[in-house]
Structure 1
Amino acid sequence: MSERRGYPSDLTDERWALIEPMITAWKAVHPSVSGHQGRYPMREIVNSILYQGRSGCPWSYLPGDLPPPGAVKYYFYAWRNDGTTEAIHELLRCQVRERAGRTEDPSLVVLDTQSLHAAAGVPATTTGRDAAKKVPGRKRGLAVDILGLVIAVIVTAACVHDNAIGTALLDKVATSASTVHKALVDQGFKKTVVAHGAAMGVEVDIVERNPDQTGFVPQPIRWRVEQTNGILMLHRRLVREYEHSTASSESRVYWAINDVMARRLTGTSTPAWRGA
């Protein structure tokens, strides 16, 4: 490809160096069907995924100086399906925690859900209506550690109760971080989640809000998951549900957090779309 202009979401050399060995190793065992190593540099493929996540554009609106949508789609779906995206996430998460002086895996997580409107074209079979929040679309469940780093993510129809999402999150947490022995949740989660956690050896603490407080009041420790939800909103593709499959929605979350963690590790930042 010829020299192109840069975008604020582009990887710096330092950020690319963090994930390049894993991407290169993946490519070495996944050559194209014709046997060659591919026409487009892997760094540009990742730049395209990050550009789309930050800008929120549809596939067909990717700029012409980036690899074509078909090529970017191929890698996005391949890495989503074989776990590469989550493997990159785990690599970066462990580095961020170690740099903060913590063990690779946490002992405490915070769970929360967020309901999002679904865009036109999202299959109705994967959406529903959150009766409490009156939001038609999907619901995103997050489990984060004390640093606000994502440990697990679940995306469902918005009509799914927080209990079901909470139990699914705890199952995923147990798989990715078996060291967790305590979870904090809000009052939207009920005794079902507490009982499920107890059976797994995880103490689930329902943090009740002070009835004398009005409006949004951050709760000790639990505010970390609210902060992470706010950070995700800086990635425009996550402001609304655009993905046809919930697996793609979850993958978008991992790519957004991968971007955040790589920037933390290299001390770089990018302008937020809200300030544009």
Structure 2
Amino acid sequence: MSERKSYKTDVSDERWALVEPVIIAWKGAHPSVSGHQGRYEMREIVNALLYQGRTGCQWDLLPHDFPPPGAVKYYFYIWRDDGTDQTIHDLLRWQVREKTGRKADPSLVVLDTQSVHAAAGVPAGSTGRDAAKKVAGRKRGLAVDILGLVIAVVVAAASAHDNAVGIALLDKVAADTDAVEKALVDQGFKNAVVVHGEKVGIAVEVVERNPAQSGFVAQPKRWVVERAYGILMLPRRLVRDYEHRPRSSESRVYWAMTAVILRRLTGATTPAWRTA
């Protein structure tokens, strides 16, 4: 790594050791025609992506001691399109689960959605208005395990019904693993999700709210997905949807959770942004 003053989002040597093998394998599978090994260190590309995700800065406002924005963009987009972003995330997620004595893939997932405002410049064709939550933008759907780790993510227009997002999530979960047997959802999901779950071999249970309760009340097991959404509000790039393509928005979720998982695996903490 080139000599520079470190940022709080930089991966430590210990964290980079967990990511580097995937990057090395990727580079081996994508050799340059000219045999050139690349001008920029892959660790610095990853550092730049984590910095941008945490701070929310625009591409052109990345600090000058990172690789040029064009180079960082190139790897963000190519890793988004070939699934390397999810591969890195999933391999690390499996390690977290195994570290806690669980199997690599879960048997239970929890589904939920979150609507967020879209930033100016986001194409109107991929956004909409969530009438119930009065949010104009996009809807994020998550499937998480009992630890709150992301199993699948789907981003759609905020106007999309929870059923459509839930069905897409079930399809992704079923495509990625055959271990999931059950999914918990809230009452925003209707019978269409339950029926589709039967088609893909996942039993969907609608967790009904106690009518005697008022305000927000954490529901057993289902609360882990609420916590996951709370964690995703810490990276400023995810406070709004700034991405032109929904797939880019999904990639941002994977990178944000990758940073969280790396901290869990190494037992490290990230210094607070505010000091006393």
Instruction: Give the alignment's TM-score, normalised by structure 2.
Output: 0.97
For residues 186-235 of structure 1, the C-alpha deviation after alignment (integer angstroms, 9 at most, x for no partner) is 01000000011112221111111111111111000000000000111111
The offset of 1:2, in angstroms, is 4.8
User: Helix, strand or coil: the match of 1:153?
Assistant: strand
Q: Partners of 2:116 and 2:218 in 1: how far apart? A: 21
The residue number in structure 2 matching 1:13 is: 13
The residue number in structure 2 matching 1:73 is: 73
Gaps of 5+ in 1: none
> How do 1:161-176 residues align onto structure 2 when only pairs under 5 Å count?
161-176=161-176
User: Helix, strand or coil: the match of 1:3?
Assistant: coil
Q: Does 1:198 align with 2:181?
A: no
For residues 105-137 of structure 1, the C-alpha deviation after alignment (integer angstroms, 9 at most, x for no partner) is 100000000000000000000000001101000
The residue number in structure 2 matching 1:148 is: 148
Give the percent of matched residue pairs that are identical in Structure 1 and Structure 2.
72
The residue number in structure 1 matching 2:189 is: 189
The offset of 1:34, in angstroms, is 4.1
Identify the range of structure 1 (6-15 vs 172-181) with the bigger mean alpha-carbon deviation: 172-181
The residue number in structure 2 matching 1:160 is: 160
The offset of 1:35, in angstroms, is 3.0
- Whether contact under 8 Å (1:31, 1:38) holds in the other structure is no
User: Helix, strand or coil: the match of 1:263?
Assistant: helix
Q: Partners of 2:167 and 2:26 in 1: how far apart? A: 32
The residue number in structure 1 matching 2:86 is: 86
The offset of 1:3, in angstroms, is 1.6
For residues 124-174 of structure 1, the C-alpha deviation after alignment (integer angstroms, 9 at most, x for no partner) is 000000011010000000000001000000000000000000010000000
Q: Partners of 1:201 and 1:18 in 2: how far apart? A: 33
1:72 counterpart letter in structure 2:
V
The offset of 1:89, in angstroms, is 1.1
Gaps of 5+ in 2: none
1:185 counterpart letter in structure 2:
V
User: Helix, strand or coil: the match of 1:216?
Assistant: coil
> How do 1:11-90 residues align onto structure 2 when only pairs under 5 Å count?
11-32=11-32, 34-90=34-90
Task: Go from structure 1 to structure 2 and tell me whether the alpha carbon gap of 1:243 and 1:97 turns closer, same or farther (over 3 Å shift).
Answer: same
Runs (4+) of structure 1 exceeding 6 A deviation are: none
Q: Partners of 2:81 and 2:191 in 1: how far apart? A: 33
User: Helix, strand or coil: the match of 1:187?
Assistant: coil
User: Helix, strand or coil: the match of 2:87?
Assistant: helix
